[in-house]
Homo-oligomer: A and B are copies of this chain.
Amino acid sequence: MLQTVTVVGVGLIGGSFALALREAGFTGRILGVSSPRTLETALRLGVINEGIGLEEGIRRADLVYLAQPISQILEVIPQIGPWLGPDAVVTDAGSTKVEIVRAAEAHLPPGAFLGGHPMAGKESRGVESAEAGLFRNRSYILTPTSGNPRGHLSSFRDFLARFECLVFELTAEQHDSIIAYYSHVPQLASTALAVTVSGVNGTKKAAGPGLIDMTRLAMSSYTVWKDILVTNRAHIGPALDDYISVLQQLRASLGTPEMERFFATGESLARGLRTDFDFIDKT
């Protein structure tokens, strides 16, 4: 049974995981590893029971939840192996998986690690924005690796099942290649649109609701995206090429009947996203 969970990186995701765990009935202890200021806030908000240093946090944990930016996860994984108890397990919430899983396979005992990616977030960041319901009605992807999984990993999965999120598995490679299209290209499409519009010499008053929609992602933090773009560059490059190529085809079809086919394909995909997975939050 899970007795002690250590969240490393008590921000929006790590803090929400702690709160969701509590809401799902976890009665053990939640330790937090973060900056002193964040720990103070997390304690005040009742998100964690105790702030602690990395080494002791790992030594005491049954489950370690790594929720820092990807580059920090990649720095921490090689350090923690020696501190990990014989039954302890590690999962993470990094938005790219190939490099993280590779590090875990190199540095952690077989069966001790399970990669994860909760497809959740919001515009505001930090533990102040954490909420127990952040994962509800969202996808939560797991990327299992080789090795017979330690028992605490199935306890972790049991808790996830109570978060009311759609849990499913992909290989790390499948994850990074699909997410390049579903998340990383959309981010760059939004940033590029905002950059393009910023070059227009004309009144911003003419902006309508469509542009507002399409530039929401452009407000994302580069601190988060930097690591994603670096670690998944191999998949994002070709996915972005595909997007550019479709745009060039649309450009060539301006004012021709061919355009109708693009609209039909796009509409069908967009409506499908909203109806095939009914439970997914459509807002």
Contacts and interface: CB of A to CB of B under 8 A. Distances in A.
Interface residues of A, number: 94
B198 A266 contact: yes
Interface in A182-217: 182-183, 185-200, 202-217
A117 to B, nearest CB: 9
Interface string A17-57: 00000000000000000000000000000000000000000
Given A218-B267, A277-B207, A196 B230 contact: no
26 contacts: A119-B206, A174-B202, A178-B202, A178-B206, A179-B206, A182-B197, A182-B208, A185-B196, A186-B193, A190-B270, A191-B263, A194-B270, A196-B242, A199-B242, A207-B280, A212-B274, A212-B280, A212-B282, A213-B216, A215-B270, A222-B259, A222-B260, A241-B251, A244-B244, A244-B251, A247-B247
Interface of A: 119-121, 138-139, 141, 166, 168, 170, 174-175, 177-179, 181-183, 185-200, 202-220, 222, 225-226, 229-230, 233, 236-237, 239-244, 246-248, 250-251, 254-255, 259-260, 262-274, 276-277, 280-283
